[in-house]
């Protein structure tokens, strides 16, 4: 098969990495790709993943059999609807299905219809009414911009004034543009966060390995929110009993509700959960793999990943058994100075060749560019260093040994990725 992956981050490098190992793969392309992806796929950085006309033309010219989008934006803008009209297969939900991430109010409405446990909420399209509601409800409270905001549209407010300020920024100052035309205001849930990601053909689904990511910039979950500073898999937080609850109370009802709406959901469905007293509550849904969760989940899947996707496209996913590697995986994100704000670019990356000699360590590139066989930084999150080993403590040690061998000017990374598991494992 000839495959085109859309996107240029660490998640997309991971998707390309597992696809490159498939016996069914004939040729791999990536738009726009990055420095690391260029070593395993033909990258085309002259086309935007949201320029559907150019993507369709490229697919026809190169006889692409399947398009696999990494990020949410092309899906939310209708990638599958657009390409399928041209006879091109896409592994991902249609425009309505992708609203599960593209509109928080749509997701909440689907959850209400399906009886999925989530925080109590109200939706507002007028700032004055939103502010009045906050005055009445008080804090702590959570304010969310309705549309896509690159992971920055959620404000967890401990004080009323902070929540009012969030409304002003989102709805009046329009810091997220049209994504802030509506807001969802909900109660703050207190518990443990976890990610549960499944692959689905719209009717049946298979759970991928469990994981937990680390959103905050600094150790001990301090500092601003980011796209994710690292992840580990599996998470001991999610035992078999909790898995059963998540699938029965969250995944099955949502898939059934979308099917009922006439939009069976194909692709990856990501449930961002808060576990409260061993019960799952949905914080958000995403219409794609997580990043950096993909970097610890996909390397732990033993199956030929392209075969799993093929079975989903055929509607035969119930026949698949996903086999997990016994080893744990830990991914440490190495970021540019200034991230998640304005960050530096063009710094030379050194030490990658040393890490390449390490067993069961993979460096997934995110914000990198390859120039004359040298790698340079070109994004906020630069690399995701993933290690696999017999258990979480030994995997953490291996991942940080690899990180210590890599350097670029202004590099920043957390020193406590994966250690969140220790409290579940009763390790000090």
Largest CA distance in the chain: 61
User: Does 428 score more than 70 pLDDT?
Assistant: no
For the cut 90, the answer to whether the pLDDT of residue 426 exceeds it is no
Give the confidence band of 228 by pLDDT, cuts at 50, 70, 90.
very high
Distance between start and end Cα atoms, the chain: 48
Average pLDDT over residues 339-367: 96
Q: How far apart are CA 77 and CA 54, in angstroms?
A: 15
| For residues 372-378, average pLDDT | 96
Burial class (CB in 10 A: 0-12, 13-18, 19+), 353: exposed
Distance CA 305, CA 79 (A): 22
pLDDT level of residue 194 (50, 70, 90 thresholds): confident
In this prediction, residues 344-357 reach a mean pLDDT of 97
For residue 427, what pLDDT is reported?
76
Task: Provide the b/e sequence for 32-44 (b: ≥16 CB within 10 Å).
Answer: bbbbbbbebbebb
Dihedrals φ, ψ of 348, to 5°? -70, 135
The Cα 38–Cα 27 span in angstroms is: 13
Tell me, what's the pLDDT at 404?
Answer: 98
What DSSP state is assigned to residue 212?
A: E
Between residues 428 and 53, which one has the greater pLDDT?
A: 53
68 has pLDDT over 80: yes
Q: What is the pLDDT of residue 425?
A: 81
With bands split at pLDDT 50, 70 and 90, how would you rate the model's confidence at 224? confident
- Residue-level pLDDT at 391: 96
Q: Which tops the pLDDT comparison, 225 or 403? A: 403
- What pLDDT, on a 0 to 100 scale, did the predictor assign at position 235? 94
Tens digit of each residue's pLDDT (9 = 90 or more) over 280-338: 999 999 999 999 999 999 999 999 999 999 999 999 999 999 999 999 999 999 999 99
**Tens digits of residue pLDDT in 101-132:** 999 999 999 999 999 999 999 999 999 999 99
Give me the chain's average pLDDT, please: 96
34 vs 40: CA distance, rounded Å = 11
Q: What percent of the chain has pLDDT over 90?
A: 94
Could you tell me the pLDDT band of residue 259, with boundaries at 50, 70 and 90?
A: very high
Look up the pTM and report it. Answer: 0.95
Q: Are 304 and 23 in contact (CB under 8 A)?
A: yes
Using one digit for the tens of pLDDT, what is the confidence trace for 145-175? Answer: 999 987 788 999 999 999 999 999 999 999 9
What confidence score (pLDDT) does residue 195 get? 87
CA distance 54 to 341: 31
**What pLDDT is recorded for position 222?**
94
For residue 100, pLDDT over 90 is answered with yes
Q: Are 205 and 317 in contact (CB under 8 A)?
A: yes
DSSP letter string, 329-369: EEEEEEE-TTTTSS----PBPB-HHHHTTSTTEEEEESSEE
Mind listing the domains of the chain with CATH numbers? 2-92 (3.40.50.20), 120-187 (3.30.1490.20), 192-425 (3.30.470.20)
Mean pLDDT of the region 27-50: 97
Arithmetic mean of pLDDT, 39-56:
97
């Amino acid at each position: 098969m000839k495959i085109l992956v859309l996107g240029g981050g660490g998640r997309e490098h991971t998707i390309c990495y597992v696809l490159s190992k498939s016996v069914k793969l004939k040729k791999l392309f990536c738009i726009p790709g990055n420095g690391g992806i260029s070593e395993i796929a033909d990258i085309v950085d002259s086309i935007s993943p949201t320029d559907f006309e150019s993507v369709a033309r490229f697919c026809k010219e190169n006889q692409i059999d399947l398009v696999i989008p990494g990020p949410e934006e092309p899906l939310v803008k209708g990638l599958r609807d657009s390409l399928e009209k041209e006879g091109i297969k896409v592994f991902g939900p249609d425009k309505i299905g992708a609203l599960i991430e593209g509109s928080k109010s749509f997701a909440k409405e689907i959850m209400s219809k399906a009886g999925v446990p989530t925080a109590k909420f109200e939706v507002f399209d007028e700032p004055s009414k939103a502010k009045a509601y906050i005055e009445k409800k008080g804090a702590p409270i959570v304010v969310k911009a309705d549309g896509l905001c690159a992971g920055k549209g959620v404000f967890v407010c401990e004080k009323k004034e902070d929540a009012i300020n969030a409304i002003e920024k989102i709805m009046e100052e329009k810091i997220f543009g049209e994504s802030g035309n509506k807001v969802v205001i909900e109660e703050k849930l207190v518990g443990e966060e976890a990610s549960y990601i499944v692959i689905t053909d719209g009717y049946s689904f298979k759970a991928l390995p469990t994981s937990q990511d680390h959103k905050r910039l600094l150790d001990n979950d301090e500092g601003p929110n980011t796209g994710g500073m690292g992840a580990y898999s599996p998470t001991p937080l999610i035992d078999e009993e909790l898995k059963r609850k998540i699938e029965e109370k969250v995944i099955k009802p949502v898939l059934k509700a979308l099917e009922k709406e006439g939009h069976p959901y194909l692709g990856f469905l990501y449930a961002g959960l808060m576990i409260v007293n061993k019960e799952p509550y949905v914080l958000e849904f995403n219409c794609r793999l997580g990043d950096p969760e993909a970097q610890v989940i996909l390397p732990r899947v033993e199956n030929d990943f392209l075969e799993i996707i093929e079975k989903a496209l055929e509607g035969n996913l119930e026949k698949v058994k996903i086999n997990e590697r016994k080893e744990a995986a830990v991914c440490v994100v190495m970021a540019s100075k200034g991230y998640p704000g304005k960050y530096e670019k063009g710094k030379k990356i050194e030490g990658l060749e040393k890490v390449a000699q390490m067993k069961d360590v993979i460096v997934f590139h995110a914000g990198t560019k390859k120039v004359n066989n040298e790698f340079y930084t070109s994004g906020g999150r630069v690399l995701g260093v993933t290690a696999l080993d017999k258990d979480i403590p030994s995997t953490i040690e291996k991942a940080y040994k690899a990180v210590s061998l890599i350097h670029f000017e202004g590099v920043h990374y957390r020193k406590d990725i994966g250690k969140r598991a220790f409290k579940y494992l009763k390790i000090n």
